[in-house]
Structure 1
Amino acid sequence: MDSTSDIAIGQVVKSRAGRDKGRIFLVLGVVDDQYVLVVDGDLRKLDNPKLKKVKHLIIYNTVLPEFKLKLDSKIKINNAYVRKLLEPFNKSF
């Protein structure tokens, strides 16, 4: 599970290590095959994403295409939008 092909922008991930252990994040960007940038709109805002090692993440099969679409289209997204997208996941995981 080390290759970046497993992880996409807009993918729902959960931290399994560090101070943010157990938190649900959205992948904002893929840095390389070991690191990704994650946000949750709360602790990790869009203007200050967290650089996280892929091996410290539990990767869910859920990708939120609307998040990637908005990023690609340069549509302004805010932290409240990220929190709203992650809300169902914070309840179910």
Structure 2
Amino acid sequence: MDSTADISIGQVVKSRAGRDKGRIFLVYGIADEQYVYIVDGDLRRLDSPKKKKIKHLIVFNTVLPEFKEKIENSVKINNSYIRKILEPFNKSF
């Protein structure tokens, strides 16, 4: 998968390359056809999301609709909220 056509905001991804290899992230935004913005609330916070190529990510089928809904409705979220919703994924992967 080298295109953002099948990726949505709130989707759980895992880094397969780079310094953050093996870490779990959430898709925070879509930059263009090859790049997305990812956050994890720890290394990559909401105020400085990481711009990453799709080919460097393992994309899971899990989409967190409550995160997507909050982003689309401009509800204020913080980094601890992101860490909390990613916690089960960090334990299982």
Q: Give TM-score scaled by structure 1 length.
A: 0.98
Gap regions ≥5 residues in structure 2:
none
Q: How far 1:38 sits from its partner (Å)?
A: 0.1
Partner of 2:47: 47
Question: Following TM superposition, where does structure 1 have runs of at least 4 consecutive aligned residues deviating by more than 2 angstroms?
Answer: none
Superposed CA deviations along residues 41-73 of structure 1, whole A, max 9, x for unmatched, are: 000000000000000000000000100100111
Partner of 2:91: 91
- Letter of the aligned partner of 2:91 in structure 1? K
CA–CA distance in structure 2, aligned partners of residues 37 and 26 of structure 1: 8
SS at match of 2:89: helix
SS at match of 1:66: helix
Q: Percent identity?
A: 75
Q: How far 1:3 sits from its partner (Å)?
A: 2.3
- Letter of the aligned partner of 1:13 in structure 2? V
SS at match of 1:9: coil
Q: How does 1:10-29 map to 2 (within 5 A)?
A: 10-29=10-29
Q: Give TM-score scaled by structure 2 length.
A: 0.98
CA–CA distance in structure 2, aligned partners of residues 38 and 6 of structure 1: 15
